Structure 1
Amino acid sequence: AVQIWLSELARVELHSVFVRKVREGELTEAILQAVLECFREDLHSRFQVVPLTDDIVERAISLLLSQAKNHPLRTLDALHIASAQAVEKSGLAFVTADKKLFTAASGLFSRIIDPEAKVGLGP
């Protein structure tokens, strides 16, 4: 079975995206509630959630200090990378459709996949 690890940050980001879509008139409140209910169900049945621990925050700070001088690394991106590093196991891929996050994560993981571009780095 495929394990999907998800940073706790993604929970907040998903809510932010869909609430914005309601505010901008792209979704109705009813659709928002249906989407959030599906996400809650998936969260408990399909995903392993990586909690934001002190260790992950420290890893993110280290990434910012070491990487941000050469690559634009945003705060939340550093936390996503640090979360993935905390659970990185053989064969796991770091998956992101965010171009800046993809670039920042390059060289930090053996496999990186952009699902929108169908392009990845690594075996």
Structure 2
Amino acid sequence: MLHSRRRSPENARIAPRPRARAAVRERRAAYQAALPGPLYCDTSALVKLYLPEPGSDELNRLVEGRVDLLVSDLAVTEAASALSRALREGSITEAIARRVHQAVVGRLDEGVYRRAELTRDVHRRAEQFLLRLVATPLRAADALHLALATTARAASLASFDARLGAAARAVGLAVYPS
């Protein structure tokens, strides 16, 4: 996994054979060709990079080796909220929540992810999306993610939110998952 989830003996994978490795490389190249960069990751995608959820493995393969990932502080704050919810529900421990949050913030601060800045212009663009994309009902935070992606000149958006994905397609972004 790209984002260093440590594998216990129960979930360790057997090393793939050379032919399988080539197939994985080909699949990754196809994913990356289908999703031109830069690639903006919303909160749903960001959390999947760190916690085992449906779609996590495939997303990690997709972003492995990419240097054009865009993440916003909004996504980091929303990820902290998602971690808090998972902690309350008992699906993760406090240590995992803390470690994941520190990893996300660290990668953003170290430049592993490019920061998409939440500015006044981003807010105005989000407001325009909310008023213009009435056929695709967006929540305010989703409109902000869409505005962050487009303002940062992302060519693609990774989001597991169907409404945000539909809105992103409507403004010309490639979307994962499709």
| C-alpha RMSD of the superposition | 1.5
Whether contact under 8 Å (2:168, 2:174) holds in the other structure is no
Tell me, what secondary structure is at the counterpart of 1:106?
A: helix
Q: Following superposition, which runs of at least 4 residues in structure 1 exceed 3 angstroms of deviation?
A: none
1:63 to 126, 129, 136: 129
| TM-score (structure 1 length as normaliser) | 0.82
Residue in 2 aligned with 1:76? 141
1:50-70 C-alpha deviation (Å, 9 max, x unpaired): 121000000011111111x21
Q: Specify the code of the residue in structure 2 equivalent to 1:101.
A: L
Residue in 1 aligned with 2:33? none
Unaligned runs of 5+ in 2: 1-65
Are 1:26 and 2:85 matched, yes or no?
no
Residues 101 and 110 of structure 1: is their aligned pair in 2 closer, same or farther, counting only changes over 3 Å? closer
Shift of 1:110: 4.0
| Distance in 2, Cα, partners of 1:73 & 1:95 | 16
Residue in 2 aligned with 1:16? 81
Whether contact under 8 Å (1:94, 1:109) holds in the other structure is no
Whether contact under 8 Å (2:76, 2:105) holds in the other structure is no
Tell me, what secondary structure is at the counterpart of 2:170?
A: coil
1:97 to 160, 174, 177: 160
Identical pairs, percent: 32
Unaligned runs of 5+ in 1: none
| Distance in 1, Cα, partners of 2:170 & 2:140 | 18
Shift of 1:8: 2.1
